[in-house]
Chain A
Amino acid sequence: MNNQAVMGNFTDVNVLMHAAEKIRDAGYTDFDIFTPYPVHGLDKVMGVKRTILPYISFGAGATGLMTAIGLMYWTGAVDYKLSIGGKPFFSAFFGLPIMFELTILLTALATFGGLWYLCGLPRWYNEYQHDEGFRRAQDDIFVVSIFSTDKRFSLDTAKHLLTELHASDVRVVDAQV
Chain B
Amino acid sequence: MNSAVSASLSADSTQSKALHDAFNDEPLREPLVLGKPTLHDVTRKVLDIIESKPNIKFLAALSVTLMMALWGGVCIAYTIAEGVGVWGLNSPVFWGWDITNFVFWIGIGHAGTLISAILFLFRQKWRTAINRSAEAMTIFAVVCALTFVLMHTGRQWLFHWLLPYPNQMNMWVNFRSPLMWDVFAVNTYGTVSLLFWFTGLVPDFATARNFVKSKIASKIYSIFSLGWTGSARHWHTYEMAYMIFAGISTPLVLSVHTVVSFDFATSVIPGWHTTIFPPYFVAGAIFSGFAMVMTLLIIAREILGLKDYITLKHLDNMNKIILATGMMVGYAYAMEFFIAWYSGNTYERFVFINRATGDYAWSYWIMISCNVISPQVYWFKKLRRNVPLMFIISIFVNIGMWFERFTIISTSLHHDYLPSSWGYYSPTWVEISIFIGSFGIFLTLFLLFAKFVPMLAIAEIKSVLPGSQPKHHHHDEQH
Contact = CB atoms under 8 A, between A and B. Distances in A.
B476 A40 contact: yes
B23 interface: no
A101 B175 CA distance: 13
Given A87-B176, A112-B195, A102 B184 contact: yes
A98 B244 contact: no
B446 to A, nearest CB: 24
A108 B2 CA distance: 43
B462 A97 contact: no
Q: Bin chain B's interface residue count.
A: 35 or more
B335 interface: no
A26 to B, nearest CB: 14
A34, A104, A126: residue with the most chain B Cβ atoms closer than 10 Å: A104
A35 B229 CA distance: 8
B479 interface: no
B251 A104 contact: yes
B437 interface: no
A41 B235 CA distance: 11
A17 B473 contact: yes
B255 A100 contact: yes
Interface in B124-176: 164, 170-176
A105 B190 CA distance: 10
B227 A36 contact: no
A82 B40 CA distance: 64
B382 interface: no
A75 interface: yes
B222 to A, nearest CB: 8
A48 B340 CA distance: 59
A44 B475 contact: yes
A13 B174 contact: no
B174 A82 contact: yes
Interface string A96-135: 0110111011011101101110110111111000000011
Contacts of A12: 1-2
B226 A118 contact: no
Q: Bin chain A's interface residue count.
A: 35 or more
A36 B175 contact: no
A18 B462 CA distance: 20
Given A14-B1, A166-B2, A108 B470 contact: no
Contacts of A119: 231, 233-234, 237-238
A66 interface: no
B230 interface: yes
B119 to A, nearest CB: 17
A57 interface: yes
Nearest to A21: B475
A138 interface: yes
Given A108-B248, A140-B40, A115 B241 contact: yes
Contacts of B228: 121, 138
Contacts of A112: 195, 198-199, 241
Contact of A105 (B1, B188, B238): B188
Given A35-B232, A98-B175, A98-B184, A104 B192 contact: yes
8 contacts: A17-B470, A36-B207, A39-B235, A61-B248, A97-B184, A98-B175, A119-B233, A123-B226
